[in-house]
C-alpha cells in the first residue's frame, strides 16, 4: 500500500490542468468525446497526464501545440489540488492536479482527436456557462482568479 493509502496507487499519478488564455483575456474551453465518440456534457480546460520523467514546461507546450497548433508564450504556475476518489468509503485513487495558466497569442487551427469543439470564452461567458463547466475546471478558474463564478463562490 502507498503512503496515501491507495492500494492501486501508481508511482506517479499527476495530471496537468492547463488554463489557456489569449491576448483578449479569454480562456480556452473544450468539449471532449468519450471513448464511444459521444460528446461529454461539460466544458473543460486542457488536461493531460504528466508522463513520468517529463519536463512540465515541455509537456505543457507540446500538449497545447499538438492539440490546437498554438504556441505557448508564457506559463504561470497556479495552486495545485488533490483529487481523491472513494468507493464505499474506501480510498481507491489519489491524483495530484498541477495547475497552470498558459498564454498564447495564436488561435486554434486544428483540434486534437479527443476534442469535439473548443472556443474562447470571456469572463462573462464563463459565468453564463458556469453550470456546464467541469468541477476541476472551476477550481483552476478560481485558482487563476479569472472568475469565482456568477455568485462569487
Exposure on the CB side of residue 134, measured as CA atoms within 13 A: 17
Per residue in 74-89, pLDDT tens? Answer: 999 998 887 777 778 7
pLDDT at 10 over 50: no
Q: Delimit the domains of the chain by residue range.
A: 14-143
Nearest to 56 by CA among 33, 32, 72, 40: 72
Domain 14-143: homologous superfamily in CATH: Nucleoside Triphosphate Pyrophosphohydrolase (3.90.79.10)
Averaged over 49-65, what is the pLDDT?
Answer: 89
Read off φ and ψ for residue 82, nearest 5 degrees: -95, 145
* pLDDT, position 63: 92
Q: Confirm whether pTM is higher than 0.85.
A: no
* Chain centre distance of CA 131: 17
Q: Which residues pair with 93 in a beta bridge?
A: 85
Averaged over 92-109, what is the pLDDT?
Answer: 84
**3 contacts: CB under 8 Å, gap ≥ 6:** none
* pLDDT, position 2: 42
Averaged over 3-11, what is the pLDDT?
Answer: 45
* pLDDT, position 153: 60
Nearest to 74 by CA among 141, 19, 17, 15: 19
Amino acid at each position: 500500500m502507498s503512503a496515501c493509502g491507495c492500494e492501486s496507487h501508481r508511482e506517479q499519478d499527476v495530471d496537468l490542468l492547463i488554463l489557456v488564455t489569449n491576448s483578449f483575456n479569454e480562456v480556452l474551453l473544450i468539449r471532449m468525446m468519450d471513448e464511444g465518440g459521444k460528446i461529454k456534457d461539460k466544458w473543460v480546460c486542457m488536461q493531460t497526464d504528466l508522463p513520468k520523467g517529463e519536463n512540465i514546461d515541455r509537456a505543457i507546450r507540446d500538449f497545447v501545440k499538438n492539440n490546437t497548433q498554438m504556441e505557448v508564450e508564457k506559463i504561470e504556475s497556479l495552486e495545485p489540488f488533490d483529487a481523491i476518489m472513494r468507493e464505499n468509503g474506501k480510498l481507491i485513487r489519489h491524483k495530484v492536479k498541477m495547475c497552470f495558466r498558459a498564454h498564447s497569442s495564436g488561435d486554434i487551427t486544428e483540434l486534437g482527436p479527443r476534442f469535439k469543439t473548443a472556443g474562447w470564452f470571456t469572463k462573462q461567458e464563463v459565468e453564463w456557462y458556469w453550470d456546464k463547466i467541469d468541477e476541476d475546471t472551476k477550481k483552476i478558474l478560481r485558482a487563476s482568479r479569472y472568475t469565482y463564478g456568477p455568485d462569487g463562490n
